[in-house]
Amino acid sequence: MDQNNSLPPYAQGLASPQGAMTPGIPIFSPMMPYGTGLTPQPIQNTNSLSILEEQQRQQQQQQQQQQQQQTVAAAAASVQQSTSQQSTQGASGQTPQLFHSQTLTTAPLPGTTPLYPSPMTPMTPITPATPASESSGIVPQLQNIVSTVNLGCKLDLKTIALRARNAEYNPKRFAAVIMRIREPRTTALIFSSGKMVCTGAKSEEQSRLAARKYARVVQKLGFPAKFLDFKIQNMVGSCDVKFPIRLEGLVLTHQQFSSYEPELFPGLIYRMIKPRIVLLIFVSGKVVLTGAKVRAEIYEAFENIYPILKGFRKTT
């Protein structure tokens, strides 16, 4: 019984726990690849001669830029915020120039007239296109959808349990009727207040169809059931990244978001803040995502976690 009882009082360095602060979750924002017809601005250097050369090149590309200036200027403001948050390097590898080039063009060089009136560089094509950093290529599969609906009338659970084949009702154990249908394969909890919870569907549409079928069953049993306020409350998805993950390393670097207690549960519980999703990450590489209200949150959460997990791929 005493597994650890006789602890010798060895020297205790009162080391405070590791608080490796990561600056924040890399927010999935589209990168800035250069759109059609616009060539990227060359790298600025401190050499004034090369800047002169750059100016000449820019003069040549003037016409193209001015056409897009208006559209670009409008979008630039909104995009500048997102570029400043980017922490990943794009495949084009030229995004750092964006920041520098924007500040560069404001100061005209002596002897050259600034040909483009706008202080902002018009070279930046800001149309958010496909992300330059590769997406993972893995799509999480939805495994369970929980939804609620209000049938809008009081129900007599005893009657329902008596006259429906697929219902079970044990008031001493739980105060609701548990009803099941075969297609889509789901389970519903029907309460006497008229509210219903539907679980087990694999997609939002299936959940809605199943809830309607349950409402129809209740209708046929003689109650004036309606279909009010259908809402998806929770979505659960899962996927496999196909490589093992060092959970101990992950909990060290992402301590504020993760909780890993191997004595209690073999997986790591990662609470992502944006989007607000809880992920269960296992050593085999399987990931379970839950807590989403819409499908896009699950996809976004997985795209956020995938680069982090790749960082912990053990390469012997």
Q: For the window 286-315, what string marks contact with another protein as x by the rule CB under 8 A? A: ----------------------------xx
Q: For the window 268-287, what string marks contact with another protein as x by the rule CB under 8 A? A: --------------xxxx--
Measured from the CB of residue 253, what is the shortest distance to another protein in angstroms? 12
Cα-based torsion angle of the residue sequence 189, 194, 198, 203 in order, rounded to the nearest 10 degrees: 170
Q: For the window 125-144, what string marks contact with another protein as x by the rule CB under 8 A? A: ----------------x---
Q: Are 210 and 181 in contact (CB under 8 A)?
A: yes
Q: Are 67 and 116 in contact (CB under 8 A)?
A: no
| Strands of the sheet with 258-260, listed across from one edge | 167-169, 176-181, 186-191, 195-201, 141-150, 228-240, 286-292, 277-281, 268-272, 258-260
Distance, CA of 76 to CA of 79 (rounded, Å): 5
Residue with tokens 């063009």: 105
User: In whole angstroms, how far apart are CA 271 and each of 251, 256, 275?
Assistant: 12, 9, 9
60 scored as a contact of another protein (CB under 8 A): no
Which tokens is 250 given?
């992950």
Measured from the CB of residue 180, what is the shortest distance to another protein in angstroms? 9
CB-nearer residue toward another protein: 64 or 284 = 284
Q: For the window 4-43, what string marks contact with another protein as x by the rule CB under 8 A? A: xxxxxxx-xxxxxxxx------------------------
Footprint on residues 178-237 left by another protein (CB under 8 A) = 181, 183-184, 202-209, 212-213, 216-217, 220-221
Among 262, 273, 276, 310, binds another protein (CB under 8 A): 262
- Residue 21 burial (C-beta neighbours within 10 Å; 0-12, 13-18, 19+): exposed
Q: What 3-state DSSP class applies to 94? A: coil
CB-nearer residue toward another protein: 6 or 60 = 6
Measured from the CB of residue 314, what is the shortest distance to another protein in angstroms? 8
Residues near another protein (CB under 8 A) are 1-10, 12-19, 141, 162-166, 181, 183-184, 202-209, 212-213, 216-217, 220-221, 244, 246-248, 251-252, 255-256, 259-267, 282-285, 314-316
